[in-house]
Structure 1
Amino acid sequence: MKNKFMKIYEEIAVQIQEGSLKSGSLLPSENELAIRYETSRETIRKALKMLSEEGYIHKVQGKGSIVLDVKRLDFPISGLTSFKELTQKMGQRAKTSVVVLEKGLPDLYIRQQLKLAKNEHIWEIARVREIDGEKIILDKDFLAAKFVPNITEEICRNSIYEYMEGELGLSISFAKKIITVEDPTEEDRLYIDLSGFQKVVVVKNYVYLDDASLFQYTESRHRPDKFRFVDFARRK
């Protein structure tokens, strides 16, 4: 049998997820919630503490508990997580469209990023990520073809990493990430629903296999209102 505070936590969490409790609104006070749920303030405090820890609310001294925007996606800074893995709990809310899939010789900039010789080919892949009907990410991937000889649109729509690890038997190990805020390009304006935003958040990834071979350079271009870039840090 669930604890009372867990039932309260789950009920309020569902209301936030479904939008009946709006982002930016204040929850009722602890006293009001205690009366509503016919329980003690201590039980309410436990439920609110869990809601805060799980990112549903933010408690402000003297003001109360503010509902946070749970439609933002948490992107781990230090991890190597695919978009598919991030959005598995979202079901049909998330959709990927492949707008570019070409094999060829890279331009000088991409060749330098991947440290390739002049005659080495790459796969250029551009995917638009849509959530709740809004196009909010443009992922531009450049893969060294010597590691990934063949790739299909279906693989790109599903998960490139899943294909590489499951089908090709490659071991993706680590990445260097650079995060910048930039003016949108014409390509961004074409593929992202910018909704008046004048900047995009760009995450550049240099991804390596376990033998330290650099196989991928990525620019993941995000509309800034839909994401939180999170990390866990420990002081040594």
Structure 2
Amino acid sequence: MSEELITINKFYDIYLDLKMKIETYHYQTGSLLPSEKTLADVYKVSRETIRKALTMLLEEGYIQKKQGKGSIVLDIKRLNFPFSGLTSFKEIQEAQNIQSETILVKNKRELAPKFLTNQLDLAPSQQVISLVRLRKISGEVVILDKDYLIDDKIRSIPSQAAKDSLYAYLESELHMNISYAKKIFVVEPATREDRQLMDLKNDTHVVVVKGEVYLEDTRLFQYTESRHRLDRFEFVEFARRKHSAP
């Protein structure tokens, strides 16, 4: 292995270790990370390698550099439900230790609904697998997930896979390379279905994230709607301004 590749592996491994320690609150929000010199001694690397790892944390929104102080740990709770990422509910649940229950309401192969054939320009005879899942958190159903799997390669979805992790099944069992998604974020009046299946209390509207999900070869394979109770979720994207070089 070349010296350059070893260096890359080192700073990336350090980045992952520090990231994990921030996410598990080993380093608390608002606290300072150890100094570059201390980290270099701990990881037995050069300060330049530490700087590269810290730069990755900076760009990902985990720390903020403050002159004369060092690296301040930022509040990572704002990343609880990333809007821009292509992340399954199961992955978010495990990363943030959310105690929840998934209730599978529907798992059926059927003709694509008319709104979908119109929106995606599909043939009227297009078949899809329609999944409806409820996410129950703290005893209340606060998310209604509706998925339509369009790719003909997907003939059926085992109910346990639908309840556990759809993407894990598609990637590990069907070897599908899920790549990117187009999403929109809207607030809509609650439907009769929302009121029947979710614990909306007196809410008249729900937050909806609609997405078209594509494979690595650019084929559309999934349309999804994730419908959320207003008071339980906040979608926040970390943004950092990139300054032009002088």
Match of 2:84 among 78, 84, 93: 78
SS of residue in 1 equivalent to 2:234: strand
Give the alignment's Cα RMSD to 1 decimal: 2.5
SS of residue in 2 equivalent to 1:225: coil
SS of residue in 1 equivalent to 2:93: helix
CA contact (8 A) 1:144 1:215 kept: yes
Cα drift, residue 133 of structure 1: 0.9
> Hey, what does 1:112 align to over in structure 2?
118
Name stretches of at least 5 consecutive residues in structure 1 with no aligned partner: 1-5, 11-45, 56-69
Which structure 2 residues correspond to residues 200-211 of structure 1 after superposition, within 5 A? 200-211=206-217
Q: How far apart in 2 are the matches of 1:143 and 1:154?
A: 16
The reply on whether 1:94 has 2:115 as its aligned counterpart is no
Q: How far apart in 2 are the matches of 1:202 and 1:109?
A: 16
Match of 2:148 among 130, 134, 142: 142
Match of 1:54 among 75, 81, 91: 75
SS of residue in 1 equivalent to 2:196: helix
TM-score by length of 1: 0.68
Distance 1:234 1:102, change over 3 A: same
Q: How far apart in 2 are the matches of 1:114 and 1:190?
A: 28
Q: Identity of counterpart residues, as a percentage?
A: 45
SS of residue in 2 equivalent to 1:187: helix
Task: Count matched residues.
Answer: 178
Q: How far apart in 1 are the matches of 2:146 and 2:103?
A: 12
Spell out, residue by residue over 1:157-205, the C-alpha distance to the aligned partner (whole angstroms, 9 max, x if none): 0111111111111111111101111110010001111122221001001
Q: How far apart in 2 are the matches of 1:160 and 1:7?
A: 31
Which structure 2 residues correspond to residues 1-236 of structure 1 after superposition, within 5 A? 9=28, 50=73, 53-54=74-75, 74-89=80-95, 93-236=99-242
Cα drift, residue 112 of structure 1: 2.7
Name stretches of at least 5 consecutive residues in structure 2 with no aligned partner: 1-24, 30-68
